[in-house]
Amino acid sequence: MEIKLVKYWKIELFEQSKSVISNMMNEPKRPFFTGYSKEPIKPHKLQGGDFISLATYPDFIETKSVRTYRVDEFKCTPVYENDDAFQEAAKPLIKWLAENVHPHHQAIVTSTHAELLESQYVVKTEEFLKD
């Protein structure tokens, strides 16, 4: 099973239809607002007077807020990172290992630590950790 990382969530907000006739005709609903978030909306945490704040574009700082009582339905769709992102990040390390160390050496890399096994070199850093 392939693991995919969620880059962001596309969130579509829908209002209650203003016309009973449009409900009876099963007209397709259109979102009144589409926004983006790093986390999906959690329905159990929403209350009538609260606001839902969403970015207007992916990776954008500007947000728009909508009162929750205006929202009848919402749809959260995950947008995944590019599958090649990890492969592209790993290639320079693989190339360096192939050119500079014995073929049986291995490297273990985490977000805070890089270790070259069967060797003496260890590099630790917390520089890239996110809170």
Model pTM score: 0.57
Quick one: pLDDT at residue 34?
Answer: 94
User: Distances in Å between the alpha carbon of 72 and those of 7, 13, 87?
Assistant: 26, 8, 41
Whether 1 has a pLDDT exceeding 60, the answer reads no
* Consecutive H or E run containing 98: helix 84-100
Beta bridge partners of residue 109, listed in sequence order = 114
pLDDT in tens, 13-33: 998 777 666 666 777 778 899
102 or 62, greater pLDDT: 62
Angstrom distance (rounded) from CA 91 to CA 111: 17
Cα–chain center distance at 24:
37
Whether 131 has a pLDDT exceeding 70, the answer reads no
